[in-house]
Amino acid sequence: MVKLAALVVAVALLALLDPAATVVEFAKEDLESDDSLWKLYELWGARHKVARHPGEKLRRFAIFKEQARRVYDLHIEFAGDTPLGLNSFADLSDDEVRRDYRCAKGGAGNGRKKRSFINVKRRTGDGTLPLPVAFDWRSKTCYGHPCLTPVKDQAYNCGACWAFAATAAMESHHAILKNGSLLRLSEQELVDCDTNNGACAGGLAANAFQYVVKWGLTSSAAYPYTARNGTCKSSATFPVLGMTGFARVPAYDEFELLQAVTYGPVVVSIDANNTEFDRYAGGLYPSVKCGRTPDHEMLLVGYGSNHYILRNSYGENWGDKGYMLLPRNFDLHDVFGPCGILLDGATYPEMA
């Protein structure tokens, strides 16, 4: 009887949720009491399919309450008309998210230079340099198929953003250049076999590209993701993708970065070491809150007149269905770019 009652409650909660939504929206009234917050927590758990042991759930609820109020305060300060939302990290502490999801080893660091105030080559909003005003690979098709594979999830306790950014870039470039066929490449092979990276402890997409140039890469079906360090089994698999090399976009050059993404998505690194990134649930990201030490690799898939479009590897329940809108900064003397996006330049694959 108890199990039946719990099932009825769960069904009722799910009925209140928009099935197309990837975050749980809420209002100021939901924060006014523990009872309303508990109801919000139950809704959030139903949406994200999070089940906690009763004792653990009380501890998690305390974290959830704090995070929901922080999201509200941030929204009031920065978000404007963007709906309030809670992503899949809402009952995790800041330390847990940073420990178990951060992944780039100090940023890309390739060709980083010490430069102070310089004129950054940048396409500003007036369109004076010859690029489209906006570009978005999410809305494009390649030979009748999507150019981007679905957003993936690097999962809890494995800092493998570098592997996911690398495979997403290779998958999309293959679709663009190879008659639109969509591959699903193996992040786990990179985690297990690429000795120039640190597996779940972090790494760089540029190193992953070097591995693929030398060895090729198999499919995720043949070498599935386990979200933990493992023993390399590449000798037992067949590579489905080859690369001739990879290219670098120079640091401090927004024009070259935007130009590159019109040909195919590129891997960038940003400073994600802040609560706002962890709790991001859509809309324009408050970039004034982030630093300038890139520590997380993502895939740049386009841009608008006032923002970059970044694909993360935290699943579709983070951000805008797995994507992030990072405001562009038009200060020509800002060498770093918002959240340090220009500091390390970018990389992208060159396909065989």
Residue 185: DSSP 8-state: B
What is residue 107's predicted lDDT score, i.e. its pLDDT? Answer: 42
Active-site residue 296, yes or no? yes
**Catalytic residue selected from 161, 200, 290, 339:** 161
Active-site residue 174, yes or no? no
What is residue 300's predicted lDDT score, i.e. its pLDDT? Answer: 98
What is residue 350's predicted lDDT score, i.e. its pLDDT? Answer: 93
Strands of 53-168, DSSP E: 85-86, 135-136, 141-142, 145-146
What is residue 64's predicted lDDT score, i.e. its pLDDT? Answer: 84
What is residue 275's predicted lDDT score, i.e. its pLDDT? Answer: 78
- To the question of domain 105-351 being in CATH 2.40.420.20, the answer is no
Mean pLDDT for 14-41 is 72
Question: Mind listing the pLDDT tens digit for each residue in 57-96?
Answer: 888 888 888 888 887 877 666 655 566 778 777 888 878 7
Q: In the chain, what are the domain boundaries?
A: 2-91, 105-351
Active-site residue 232, yes or no? no
Closest among 287, 329, 286, 325 to 309, alpha carbons compared: 325
Q: Which two tokens stand for residue 347?
A: 């990389």
Q: Collapsing DSSP states into helix, strand and coil, what is residue 314?
A: strand
Residue 319: DSSP 8-state: T
Mean pLDDT for 251-266 is 93
* pLDDT band with cut points at 50, 70 and 90 for residue 330: low
Locate all alpha helices (DSSP H) within 186-304, ordered by sequence. 187-193, 205-215, 254-261, 275-278
Tell me the pLDDT of the chain averaged across its residues.
82
Given a cut of 60, whether residue 3 has pLDDT beyond it is: no
Question: Mind listing the pLDDT tens digit for each residue in 169-218?
Answer: 999 999 998 776 789 999 999 999 999 999 999 999 999 999 999 999 99
**Catalytic residue selected from 48, 173, 296, 307:** 296
* Higher per-residue pLDDT: 316 or 274: 316
**Catalytic residue selected from 87, 197, 207, 312:** 312
Given a cut of 90, whether residue 151 has pLDDT beyond it is: yes
What is residue 324's predicted lDDT score, i.e. its pLDDT? Answer: 95
What is residue 126's predicted lDDT score, i.e. its pLDDT? Answer: 43
Mean pLDDT for 286-302 is 87
The H or E element containing residue 38 is helix 34-48
Q: Which residues, other chains included, contact 135 with Cβ-Cβ below 8 Å and sequence gap of 6+?
A: 258, 261, 262, 302, 303
Give the span between the Cα atoms of 240 and 218, in whole angstroms.
Answer: 5
Give the span between the Cα atoms of 246 and 188, in whole angstroms.
Answer: 20
DSSP string, 299-314: EEEEE-SSEEEEE-SB
What is residue 83's predicted lDDT score, i.e. its pLDDT? Answer: 65
What is residue 235's predicted lDDT score, i.e. its pLDDT? Answer: 84
Mean pLDDT for 21-34 is 79
* pLDDT band with cut points at 50, 70 and 90 for residue 51: confident
